[in-house]
Chains A and B, each alone.
Chain A
């Protein structure tokens, strides 16, 4: 079986949907962060795949992927720090209990 662009896109879409599902359904803030990581990596697959199949000479897609990996690391650090801070002040990391933004 020949593996083409479409396969990569399908994999990344599945991965993105799993991530989105996790973000939308999980109550645990850490799980949500993990969902976000999945969504970011889905986009990484997209970028690299488009780079490989549509513009093989260029390195833009790979560069973007590297930037997103860096960004994901930063996001994880900040997100976990926020979760730690939320736990310290509210004694929970369940997002449905963190409702201070409600009217």
Chain B
């Protein structure tokens, strides 16, 4: 039944148009339509997943256009990687949609929110179903558009409007590289179909430096979309969007599209000489992981903590893929989608209750919001990598792969893991323990429609990691795998070590923020310059401000001046010349053309004026002239 997989993205797409046109008249003001379409897609995805588990595969293309005498095909495929992504997007998406009913209650543009979310889901599903770069790219840009629309959903707030623009432009920089990469592949191999490209790489038709260039360019797109260094700056600002958006798009699915892209195009990276493209991926990922984790430690905005956590975790996924841990990277993508969605939705629940994002104003919420508290702690444990929660299995695998591949990357990853546990529990302690620091607030537990998805996600965050556990012969490894990057076997001793690192992180957070054995202020002093750098997010925004935005704005101003004075000047000069020519032509028209016309008319008039005296109105005169004429004719005839 896999040939019907195209229905999966079509369902939310229909939902999008329905809600856009029906607005508040749609069932549930659009919410039921979106959720219905999404649940339908989820059911189909589960069915597809089961089919794929049984060994079914599907891949079909149709010719869409012909360029440079080469047919451009579009099509879709269902394989283990796609089916996992379908499952993640639709299941997490459905839960977030349901949650949104409660979170977006009473919003001015409630139906539009669900319309955009449906469009996003549809685009994301298109992205993961595509069996070629064209379909993938179309979905890629569509999710970028939805991200833009949803970050700027509350566009009345200047910060949201700016953030949406920043996200759009920053990811576009990455997309440009990706586009160049796709173009390079197309020019070299004449196809955009993944399988044909991969066989082209295998047979060596695209190899060596050119292949590395293509792979790195394609990775550029992933860097933008997955918020990797140096294009990570947009994701923290993207938190201006509604929290369900942050959960679905900027944590669980869209930002993982970059990781999916690398996984999908893995043969491209794998085939480069000495896996050098993968080394690039691994180092970018590793640096991102540690850098974002350090920034996450000093953030006071609950959503920004999560945002940096997301960047960091995406870095882990990239690192996992880069160190030949194909399965580990994809596995972390899946587990992360569940527990990060959970964390975001729990954070949304907190924000819903407190009407603020500042964790320093919160505190003691554990007693008031027990469901949110428990589920968020589960999410935090999963993120920190405490067994048996989901994050442990995947992160441990990535660290294990890194350990076998490159000690530097392992060190970055391990330090990141420690910081991850530290910052997430710092946030938990600030938010849920102690006593409320903001007195005007009257927090309350969120409605059922919000807590039930939390509980379901918490359940998944607890058990989903077991898909990659060694006890049942590691089923996930057999399902999503790549020849040559199978990954190392589970190492109990190593797992103990990564658990210890995570536990140490949790313990440190408790020591500093709960028991207060070491004051945070003294830590700040101890780290001095590093603290300053971290608080300023390593000056990335400032760097872009001075290195990119200022010069671009400066150049734009200069170009404007050029436009106003040179281009407009030239246009105006041509205009003036033509006006003068027109004046000349006017004189010619007036005196020559009009003159000739008037002369003809004048001649006719004058002749008429003269000849009219001959018309006396007396037939006798006429008759006389006739008679005289006859006589004259006769005379002339006789004389001749």
Q: Which residues of A line the B interface, CB within 8 A?
A: 20, 23-25, 32, 95-96, 99-103
Q: With A and B bound together, what is the CA distance between A24 and B623 in angstroms?
A: 7
Q: Is the CB–CB distance between B617 and A100 below 8 Å?
A: yes
A32–B618 alpha-carbon span in the complex (Å): 13
The verdict on B615 contacting chain A, using a C-beta distance below 8 Å, is yes
Contact A102:B620 (CB < 8 A) given known A20-B627, A24-B627: no
Show 22 A/B contacts (Cβ-Cβ < 8 Å), sorted by A: A20-B627, A23-B620, A23-B623, A24-B620, A24-B623, A24-B627, A25-B620, A95-B618, A95-B620, A96-B618, A96-B620, A99-B617, A99-B618, A100-B617, A101-B615, A101-B618, A101-B619, A102-B615, A102-B617, A102-B618, A103-B615, A103-B617
A93 to chain B, nearest CB (A): 14
Which residues in B have their C-beta under 8 angstroms from that of A103?
Answer: 612, 615, 617
Most buried by A among B616, B617, B627: B617
Main secondary structure of the interface of B (DSSP, over half): helix
Give 9 A-B pairs besides A101-B617, A102-B616, A102-B618 with Cβ atoms closer than 8 angstroms. A23-B623, A24-B620, A100-B617, A101-B615, A101-B618, A101-B619, A102-B615, A103-B612, A103-B615
Which of chain A's residues have a CB closer than 8 A to the CB of B617? 99-103
B624 at interface by CB-CB < 8 Å: yes
In the bound complex, CA of A21 to CA of B533 (Å): 132
Q: With the chains together, A101 CA to B618 CA distance in Å?
A: 7
5 pairs of A and B residues whose beta carbons are closest in the complex: A102-B617, A101-B617, A99-B617, A103-B612, A103-B615
B605-638 interface (Cβ within 8 A of A): 612, 615-620, 623-624, 627
B interface list, Cβ under 8 A from A: 612, 615-620, 623-624, 627
Q: How far is the CA of A97 from the CA of B623 in the complex (A)?
A: 17
A102 neighbours in B (Cβ, 8 Å): 615-618
- Give the secondary structure class of A's interface: loop
Nearest CB in chain B to that of A20: its residue: B627
Q: Write out the residue numbers on chain A whose beta carbons fall within 8 Å of the beta carbon of B616.
A: 99, 102
A101: chain B residues within 8 A (beta carbon) = 615, 617-619
Residues of A within 8 A of B627 (CB): 20, 24
Query: In the complex, which of the residues A20, A25, A95 contacts B619, with contact meaning CB atoms closer than 8 Å?
Result: A95
- Whole-angstrom distance between the alpha carbons of A75 and B587 in the complex? 63
Chain B residues closer than 8 Å to A24, beta-carbon distance: 620, 623-624, 627
Contacts of A100 in B (CB 8 A): 617
Q: In the complex, A1→B369 CA distance in Å?
A: 161
Tell me how far the C-beta of A4 lies from the nearest C-beta in chain B, rounded to whole angstroms.
22
- The interface residues of chain A lying within 8 Å CB-to-CB of B618 are 95-96, 99, 101-102
User: What's the least CB distance linking A16 to chain B, in Å?
Assistant: 10
Residues of A within 8 Å of B620, CB to CB, are 23-25, 32, 95-96
- The interface residues of chain B lying within 8 Å CB-to-CB of A95 are 618-620
- A24 vs B615: C-alpha distance in the bound complex, in angstroms? 16
Min C-beta distance of A32 to chain B, whole Å: 8
Cβ-closest chain A residue relative to B620? A24
Report Cα–Cα, A102/B624, bound state, in Å: 17
Q: Which residue of A lies closest to B613 (CB)?
A: A103
Residue of A nearest to B621 (CB): A24
**From B617, which residue of chain A is reached at the shortest CB distance?**
A102
**Cα separation A95 to B620 with both chains bound (whole Å):** 8
